[in-house]
Structures are given as structure tokens and as C-alpha cells.
Structure 1
């Protein structure tokens, strides 16, 4: 006598599987999935349109890097020059100190600014009471909503040649120091301004990651005699390490881009040799001087280098046992 497998029935001698049998495969058509998830799809439409219009569509403009572009001629009628624009860029000495300044500022921001939101999030999460934490969060978030024009004005009133700090130093008999006009101090000034403006805002993601750590891990560590520092080192930091790695990879990908508005507002105070970066170089050569080809060539190189850095750092994260941007 033939046996009937579990989850199957016989109808007219034919064996059929029950509808609730988990081994029963259901193929849902694309149209059915769209109808099922229409609300979620509608929610992502604005984001998709944003990237399509402002991120993906402008990629076609990179063809300007290979032509002698003239706005009145357009892309098609402009003369094809190949890599001549790239040769022009690499033969311009101003490009090299713009590249140097860009790397110096971004490396300083990566080393000095990136750990600050992590440390601030750990402080808010582990030391302060909920009431104090809410108050401090509100205070440190506020500078993020201040525009760079106002922020630079505030720093000028404090650190400028006629600011509070130089006058105070002169009053106590010290030589006055104007941080806003010293070329060698300009990269550090950029980091200080960025920390003051965005350190509090950067804690949001890390605080969310800290909230997802299982509290039982802290209790188990405390029962084993681990001090607060040990619990932070062995429980908290490993718990938020995937978020740290992800944000670090994204930060490395933008290593050739720095705050355009922040720098262009202070460029004239210290001179172009100290404050010129790739973004301002593109602005002055491309927009003001009409050198569309070389300016686009610099932008294209920035994009390629940033993409390569993201892939490389993501691969390095995988080799070190981290997930990176995506899991293996």
C-alpha cells in the first residue's frame, strides 16, 4: 500500500498538497507584488526622483571633460579633445595646492572630528540622567541648524583680528593671535568649526545604535565583575562597531570633498594658497573663468577616486571581519 507523505492529501487517486503546507511553492507575479507593496513603493518615489534628477541624470554631463565645451554649442557640436582637459588640469600648479589643501583638511577632519560624535554619544548614553541627556542633546543639536554665514560671523567676532580672544590676549600682555587670518592654522580652524556645528548632530545615529544593544550583556558583564570602562570597551564599542565602520567607509568616500560654503566664506582671509580646495578650484575655473572642460575633468576624477576608495575600504572592512556597506 502506497504511503501518503505528511502534508499531502489524495483526491481521485491524485496526490495534492494542502494549501498550508510550507513546502508548497507560491509564485507571485510582479504585478501582484506591486499591488501588494504599492504603499511602500509610493513612499520611495520622492527619494527615487531626487536621485534620478539630481544624481544620476547629471552623470551624462561628464562628457564635458572630453570636449571643448561651449554653452552655445551644446554637447553634440562641441569639439572632441579627448584627454586634453585632463592634461590642462595636471599641468596647472594651482591644482596641486588645491589637492594638497583638500587632503590635509579631510584627513584632519577624519582623525579629529570623526571620533567626537562617538565619544559624545557614549557620554550622553552612559553618564547622564535622561533629563540632563535630553537637555544636552537639544543644546548640541542646535548649531547644526545655523548657516555657515552666521557661524563664520560668530567665529570672526571671537577669533578675528578685532575679536574677543585677540583683544583679551593683548590685554593680559600676550601677543595677539588671529586664528581667522593665519594660513597655517586654517585646516585646524575648519575642524574646530565643523566640530562645533555638526558633532552634536552626528551623535543621532550612534545613540540609535547604542539603544539597540541588549541590556542583558551589560548585566552579564557586571556580574562577571567588569568595571564601567570594561563594559564600554567589551560591550558598547563592539555593539556599535558596524555603524562606525559603515560611516567611516562613507566618510572615506568623500575624502576629496570638503565644505564648499564654509571655505569660500573664509578663503580671502587667508589666501588661496592656504584655503583653495578642489571644490573652490572647480568653482573659480569652471563658473567664473568658463573653463568648463578642466573643471568637469576634476569633478570626474573626484568621483572615480571616491568610488574606488569606498570599494577599497569596504573590502578592507571585510578582511578585518566587518560587514561594511553590505554583507558577504
Structure 2
């Protein structure tokens, strides 16, 4: 109670966040019971017929589910391999810029796409990649190459998805890495310089170890989202021509649950998705801790 009285203003600042999580994260957990019922709007949650694990049997016997699961995992693996390192590289490059005004201008330019909604940004991506009027295909035509239907090709659509995600989020992702670099003791750089270390050596032996713990935490969070692909980006960019590679769990849940009113089926899928994500987070967190880092807990 003494601690509560002393830090009451801090707890008051925390109150809106706690209320948000209670209302939008914990309260909806009671609705997970729908996954074990044949839910009907007329009967309500508690009045609907109890069917046990029947919805999960339907889920795991549905061939379309495995296609959606494959697409979700593949897109997240692409993001992990190609998009995850980009903020680190950008942060390293920005950290080497000595003129503060120029660095701030670059940072602002890199941050701007993060604050643009996917509805707007997705429309820009589609317009730039248009085979008839897009700037990318205009450059290809000038080079004597045939135009590419980026958004209607099952090979090029994932490439466009990953690159558009990098464009939007990579700049904003540098914030944590830049903060970690700001906490590195400058004397370490001076000592390395006196020892004759080149700039690349100083980055390798001083900067990268200094941000390793931050990268480890973000890696755990990234792996925890392996079963979740952002709905807005996929929904904005996908079209029927690429459904075979673009349909992911979030859009599949929307189609089944909202458009086709299969609430129990989509809830079972969401519960499976959350369970796998929990296993991934716990597993990667333990792996990171065995490597000497702190982990999330």
C-alpha cells in the first residue's frame, strides 16, 4: 500500500493501458467457447449446441485450411529472412551519419510510410506496379523488357508483398535499434579505434553486440507472429488471381467468419492459431536464453 500511495501517479498512467487490455484482449477470451459449440445467433453463446471438438475435426480435414496455413507460414518466413534484418542495416547506416540535420531528415523520410494506412499505401503499390501505367513497368519497357503483371502473378505477388512491407515498416523499426545504439559506451569505440579497428570492425565488435539483446527480443516477437499475417496489407493487395498464394489465416477467418457466418469454425481456427503462436514464443524465448540473452521473461 505504501508503494501504491507513493507511485499513484504512475499507476494512474498505467490505468488506460490496463483497461484497454482487459476490454479488448482478456474479455473476448470468454468467447473462445464458441469453438466448441455450433453457434447460432438466435441461441446466443450459452444457448448454442455443444459439439466438443467437432469444429477442429472439420478444420483439420479441410484441404483449404492447409493451403492457408502454408501461405501464412511462407509469407512470415519471407518476412523473417528478408524484412527482419533491414531495420538493423538501416539503423547501422543512420548511426554512421555524423551530420545530425541530415540524419534527422533521413529518419523522417523513413518514418513517414509507417503512418500511412494500408488502404492508401496498397493503392499506391498497385498503381506503381500496374502493367500498363505503373512506373516500374514503364522502366522495364524502356529497358526493352516485357511488362510484368506483379499483382496477378503467383511468383511476383509474394515479392511485392514483402517489399511493400519493408517500405512501410523498416524505417520505423529502426527506432529501437537507434535507441540501443545510443546506450553503447562511446569509450568502447575509442578503445577499438586506438587498437586500429576499422569502421567495419567497430560495427562488428562494438555496435552489433550492443544491440544484440534488442534484436533477440524483437526476433522472439517476430516468431510469435509467425501464425499471423497482417489483415490490412494482404486484403488490400490480394485479388482472385493470386488467392492460391495470398489467402492467409486472417483473410480466411474474415471470409469464413464474417462473410459466411461460420463463427464456430473461424473461432476454432483462431484458437489453433493462438495456441501455435504461444508454443513458438515459449520455444524461441527458451532458445534465446540458452544463447545467453535475457529473453522476454
Length-normalised TM-score, structure 1: 0.88
Structure-2 residue corresponding to 1:183: 154
Contact 1:180 1:269 in 2 (8 A): no
Structure-2 residue corresponding to 1:63: 33
What do the CA deviations read for 1:279-317 (whole angstroms, capped 9, x no partner)?
111010111111111100110011111111111001001
Give unpaired runs (5+ residues) of structure 1.
1-29
Structure-2 residue corresponding to 1:21: none
Contact 2:213 2:293 in 1 (8 A): yes
What do the CA deviations read for 1:5-39 (whole angstroms, capped 9, x no partner)?
xxxxxxxxxxxxxxxxxxxxxxxxx2x22211111
Contact 2:152 2:239 in 1 (8 A): no
- The answer to whether residue 228 in structure 2 is matched with residue 257 in structure 1 is yes
Distance 1:230 1:150 in 2: 42
Choose the corresponding residue for 1:153, options 120, 123, 132.
Answer: 123
Choose the corresponding residue for 1:203, options 174, 177, 185.
Answer: 174
Contact 1:186 1:270 in 2 (8 A): no
Q: How does 1:151-300 map to 2 (within 5 A)?
A: 151-162=121-132, 163-268=134-239, 270-300=241-271
Bigger shift: 208-217 or 90-99? 90-99
- Kindly state the Cα deviation for residue 115 of structure 1 after the two structures are TM-superposed: 0.4
Aligned in 2, Cα 1:265/1:111: closer, same or farther, shift over 3 Å?
Answer: same
Distance 1:115 1:235 in 2: 18
- Kindly state the Cα deviation for residue 272 of structure 1 after the two structures are TM-superposed: 1.8
Give unpaired runs (5+ residues) of structure 2.
none
Bigger shift: 241-250 or 256-265? 256-265
C-alpha RMSD of the superposition:
1.2
Contact 2:217 2:295 in 1 (8 A): yes
What do the CA deviations read for 1:15-72 (whole angstroms, capped 9, x no partner)?
xxxxxxxxxxxxxxx2x22211111110100000010000011111111110001122
Count of matched residue pairs: 296
- The answer to whether residue 287 in structure 2 is matched with residue 316 in structure 1 is yes
Distance 2:196 2:141 in 1: 53
- Kindly state the Cα deviation for residue 128 of structure 1 after the two structures are TM-superposed: 4.2
- The answer to whether residue 101 in structure 2 is matched with residue 121 in structure 1 is no
- SS of 1:180 mapped into structure 2: helix
Contact 1:98 1:276 in 2 (8 A): yes
Aligned in 2, Cα 1:232/1:167: closer, same or farther, shift over 3 Å?
Answer: closer
- The answer to whether residue 63 in structure 2 is matched with residue 93 in structure 1 is yes
Structure-2 residue corresponding to 1:84: 54
Length-normalised TM-score, structure 2: 0.96
Contact 2:151 2:238 in 1 (8 A): no
